[in-house]
Structure 1
Amino acid sequence: MENVSSVERGRSAANRFAAFAWAVLVVNIAVILWGAYVRATGSGAGCGSHWPLCNGEVIPRSPRAETLIEFTHRATSGLALLLVVALFFWARRIYPRGRIVRRAATASLIFMLAEALIGAGLVLFELVAHDRSLARALSLAAHLVNTFLLLAAMALTAWWAQVDGEFRWLYNRIVAAILAVGLVGMILVGMSGAVAALGDTLFPADSLREGLLQDVSPAAHFLVRLRVLHPLLAVSIGVYLLFVAGALAFWRKERSVRRLARAVLSLLAIQIGAGVINLILLAPVWLQLVHLLLADLLWVTLVLLSASALTRVGDRPQLDARSRP
């Protein structure tokens, strides 16, 4: 009876941890969307070149709208950091050394700290607001890569924590290579999307025709000329992922793999439609945020599909806090 009770307590602790991990993921996606709103509204310099203070103050007095937008982003980012720190220590509290959930939580903290450093660098080097430099474009692309890795680590932390069993990797090199291409492709699409969104913000067009002419003009700024890469990459990788997810949904018998594959197919269809509408409507801010939200959800779902397709669930080992280092 004592062993059964101990197992039940361990499962209850794991379920609570999983719920918290999912909540942390949701909070971070919200913070990411607000960060995109900061960029889209040109509010990145709302706190000046000061960090972590805002215009040299802890709490800005008589702030402008841009300052409120940027300060809100910093405050929510700080909250998100604290939540990830709590996730890290909680994972160490209930999972023994070597467990994959604990490793994913550690990766979440590492990428979260990197996220904060990249954001600070953008502010301190004044790569915000109306800056049109190559350094800003590269920094935003790097920011996107780290953001995707952060979301992947947090999603895997929650996913692996909620399953009643330990994971064992399936060493299917062909499936792993196919999924790796899709994941790398999604990262490239995201990077091109970040640069395209920056170009749309800094060089808005009055009509679809004017925007297309800007894209092919040799005299246009490099941020404008790079915009065409995003739809080309999005369509190419989108078609690839349609085949991959469709094949997994058809051939694999595991319920989780089929469910996630169907979710990827649905999100792909919605995202492609949102991208077309975004192009036609000349990228309004609200639609940019919807487009980014769909991209984040698609990325997280694809990561979970890859993890589910490449792992097998075995028996859950007992969780016992006394065995922690």
Structure 2
Amino acid sequence: MRTFFGNRTNFTRYAWFVLGFMILVILWGAFVRATGSGAGCGSHWPLCNGVVVPRAPRIETLIEFTHRITSGFSGILVLVMLGWAFRLYPKGHIVRRAAAFSTLFVITEGLVGAGLVLFEWVADNESVARAISMAVHLVNTNLLLAAITLTAWWAGADAGAGEATGAKDQPPANYVLKWRGQGRTGWLLGGALGLLLLLGVSGAITALGDTLFPSGTLREGIAADFLPTAHFLVRLRVYHPILAVLTGVYLWFAGPAIAAARPGIGALTFSRAIRVLVVVQLLAGVVNILLNVPVWMQLIHLLLADLMWITVVLLAAVALSQPAASMQPVALAPLAVD
């Protein structure tokens, strides 16, 4: 057991597992919202309808209670990751810091979820406060995903460097992210992450509008988007596809530009993955609209959005740890001797 927990490769695998489980929890949370099951446990938290385990629960209660159980378990997984990181890595190590941020964001994630229940910003609530809380929830969720992703990525890089050099006390010199002085690359990455956060917020609000104000047909839904008397959640839906196209175009060109500025197999791989995800996600968005936003398609759309966010975060981790192309050493050909 001591050997298992003393192995950094095992920690890396565990961190990736935590990330995968967290994505499943996020998808189930979207299922809770899409099925209108957010009030399945009433306005009680952490209890469910005033009890620890609900008896003879309705389907909505089962859906919401399952989300609470899995969310609580994900918090335990992150806490274990934090303790394991502090056991394996020295003080000030970047993996420790990433695990600490993961813990911070999983706590705030739980607090935001509790607030949604206690203030009854669930089920059929169509207030501005609920829309704002959805935006806050989305941003916190993405920050949580980013922190866990970086924990796993940096742990893997550290394990690889340790196996190659035999030095396991300090990370490589080019291992730490530095946003200052990154020039055009930093701005491109900041724009990509910012646009994805904004797109995610608009997507969350759009999904809320689709849930609260479903349309019988695609034509009815489009017509409702432009009615001046329609609810603000309905009128806001039209902006999400526009923002999605603009973000997709930005990522399509920004990814290769970043990879060219910070050459390396990692940056090139992630920039190509971003282009693939841009195409697939835009197609998924079109299908989602044409099918009148069925729940299963909403979950696929959200999964692709999470994968896009994680890929851009990984591109940032790789690009910002590499020197600029102009600073790369250039191999000179030997002079010919007659």
TM-score (norm 1): 0.91
Matching of residues 181-196 of structure 1 within 5 Å: 181-196=191-206
* C-alpha contact (below 8 Å) 2:11/2:84 kept by paired residues: yes
* C-alpha contact (below 8 Å) 2:277/2:308 kept by paired residues: yes
> Is 1:47 the counterpart of 2:57 in the alignment?
no
Which runs of 5 or more residues in structure 1 are unaligned?
1-8, 314-325
Query: C-alpha distance in 2, partners of 1:237/1:284?
Result: 24
Gap change, CA 1:249 and 1:175, over 3 Å in 2? closer
Which residue does 1:278 correspond to in 2? 288
Query: C-alpha distance in 2, partners of 1:11/1:168?
Result: 24
* C-alpha contact (below 8 Å) 1:54/1:60 kept by paired residues: yes
Shift of 1:258: 0.8
Instruction: Find the residue that maps to 1:129 and give its secondary structure.
Output: coil
Q: In structure 2, give the amino acid aligned to 1:83.
A: L
> Is 1:67 the counterpart of 2:77 in the alignment?
no
Query: C-alpha distance in 1, partners of 2:101/2:320?
Result: 19
Which runs of 5 or more residues in structure 2 are unaligned?
162-170, 324-338
**Residue identity (%):** 56
Gap change, CA 1:21 and 1:65, over 3 Å in 2? same
> Is 1:206 the counterpart of 2:216 in the alignment?
yes
Select the structure of larger CA radius of gyration.
Answer: 2
1:254-290 Cα distance to aligned partner (Å, 9 max, x none): 1111111111111111000000111111100000000
Q: In structure 2, give the amino acid aligned to 1:284.
A: P
> Is 1:309 the counterpart of 2:319 in the alignment?
yes
Gap change, CA 1:11 and 1:267, over 3 Å in 2? farther
> Is 1:299 the counterpart of 2:338 in the alignment?
no
Which residue does 1:239 correspond to in 2? 249
Gap change, CA 1:168 and 1:49, over 3 Å in 2? closer
Shift of 1:252: 4.4
Question: Which is bigger in relative contact order (C-alpha 8 A, separation at least 6)?
Answer: 1
Which residue does 1:265 correspond to in 2? 275
Question: Which of 71, 93, 100 does residue 99 from structure 1 map onto?
Answer: 93
Query: C-alpha distance in 2, partners of 1:238/1:97?
Result: 40
Deviates more, 1:256-265 or 1:165-174: 165-174
* C-alpha contact (below 8 Å) 1:260/1:301 kept by paired residues: yes
Question: Which of 130, 144, 147 does residue 153 from structure 1 map onto?
Answer: 147
Shift of 1:248: 3.5
Question: Which of 114, 126, 151 does residue 120 from structure 1 map onto?
Answer: 114
How many residues in Structure 1 have an aligned counterpart in Structure 2? Answer: 305
* C-alpha contact (below 8 Å) 2:45/2:118 kept by paired residues: yes
Which residue does 1:138 correspond to in 2? 132
Q: In structure 2, give the amino acid aligned to 1:107.
A: F
Shift of 1:37: 0.2
* C-alpha contact (below 8 Å) 2:209/2:234 kept by paired residues: yes
Q: In structure 1, give the amino acid aligned to 2:132.
A: L
Shift of 1:253: 3.0
Instruction: Find the residue that maps to 1:97 and give its secondary structure.
Output: coil
Query: C-alpha distance in 2, partners of 1:37/1:81?
Result: 19
1:32-55 Cα distance to aligned partner (Å, 9 max, x none): 000000000000000000000100
Q: In structure 2, give the amino acid aligned to 1:267.
A: L
Question: Which of 290, 293, 318 does residue 300 from structure 2 map onto?
Answer: 290
